[in-house]
Structure 1
């Protein structure tokens, strides 16, 4: 019932009302966790920070961190900065898993942090980010921010012209720049980079376990497997389709960019990103 309410609010209310509603839902969720879920073990960190750029499964990671099983084995309540009109560089309450911060590494370093914290950043092949952003913005993403304006442009253009437009749009928004900032940041024990492809691929269970342990969260194997089953992409996509919604979880397939990039699109992408593909360690164009 809560999920249906969230979907309705996302699609049918203005931004200001949506912020208030989301805040109420977040507080209600955390109140239920406190009242009904006993904490069996606690993370050694006062805050966990999930950072990313968009289209790197941020909502999926947020769902994992919000699950009662994670709270049971960490004592960390989920904290979504958006409903609270979080303003950089304001700090966050202790005992929270903050998800998700769409900020550059430089901006993240200026956020006040407790003595003991952990951060992880999720990156993805930026070519797949372009394709995923195109289909999400054009068809399925909640109409918020500049999405209605960009959606109108994309719906008026053929696929190729739409992808070219979106490459420029993402470059202007700093998506590629933010990826670069985290990839080139000095190594730090508290910060770890994870790849979308690893978190969603064949070794998903091992990779998510590694992410959780980085955050001081140790899940028993059976509970980790159950967690990943509850939030499998196929299940989340199916639930949206049953509800009559366009799936936000379209494919998630690595390398899908090869089905959509031609020479002109790749040239525009290369001009916008420079050596980013090589820097992030993804294979060059075949």
Structure 2
């Protein structure tokens, strides 16, 4: 829908997240709600770091840390949506994306795909951990968790997207859309309606691979679990996904 004069000026909206945490899902909802004021993502976040920010626009899918966000000259009136995901599920989703489904954007991605396709799943996951491929998502999560700002978990959105987004977009941000229209757009973008499959039915060739939480348990061997705990175990506690290292 278009923003019109019947509503007060809206804040600039920044949707901040990291790889494999539903960024395309939320972007689709925001774009269908407000197509006229969306600023589409660009390679290396140039729409945020290079191009001057536009007041009253919506910036979906920003993969940026707290330090990067506040380094930019921000509009006077803005709101943030910060979404994180269990780093273990982020890891598994990233594995299949790099190996199969993501469009190859550069030579580095091409080389990684070739490597992952030459290895078993277990060896491929080891390669990713040892190559620090998860560090970008980890660092983004850490910066925002440490900031004590409001965080939305991807897992909560999976189970309660209508209530969370209604409360956020209409009650908090005061965006110009009716609850009826917002609900319809959210329903249209649910996993089953987009993919044609129930959540949990996997298709590794698509961006909408499985649509569930806890899928890491299907792929973590004792070896991968030990490696992951050693590198990111404290982080899982810090982000509230585990109480301790006994998982």
**TM-score, normalization by structure 2:** 0.85
SS at match of 1:54: coil
Structure 2 residue corresponding to 1:215, chosen from 170, 173, 179: 173
In structure 2, distance between residues paired with 1:169 and 1:210: 40
Partner of 2:63: 102
1:79 aligns with 2:36: no
Tell me which residue corresponds to 1:65. 30
* 2:104 equivalent in structure 1: 143
Contact 1:49 1:98 in 2 (8 A): yes
Name 1:263's counterpart in structure 2. 222
Q: 1:124/1:264 Cα in 2 relative to 1: closer, same or farther (>3 Å)?
A: same
What does residue 196 of structure 2 align with?
238
Is the counterpart of residue 115 in structure 1 residue 76 in structure 2?
A: yes
Alignment match, 1:156: 118
Deviations 1:29-75 (A, max 9, x none): xxxx6xxx4637546543100111110010111111111x345xxxx
Aligned to 1:177: 139
Structure 1 partner of 2:161: 204
Deviation (angstroms), 1:105: 1.0
The equivalent of 2:185 in structure 1 is 227
How far did residue 168 of structure 1 move? 3.4
Change in 2 beyond 3 A, CA 1:38/1:281: closer
CA distance in 2, matches of 1:198, 1:218: 24
Q: Distance in 2 between matches of 1:215 and 1:38?
A: 14
Counterpart Cα distance in 1 of 2:211 and 2:5:
34
Which of 209, 212, 217 is equivalent to 1:253? 212
Provide the rounded CA distance (Å) in 2 between the counterparts of 1:283 and 1:62: 28
The two structures have a TM-score, normalised by structure 1, of: 0.74
Give the superposition deviation at 1:225: 2.1
Q: 1:42 to 1:141 in 2, by over 3 A?
A: farther
Unpaired segments of 5 or more residues in structure 1? 1-32, 240-244
Aligned residues: 236
**What value does the CA root-mean-square deviation take over the aligned residues?**
2.5
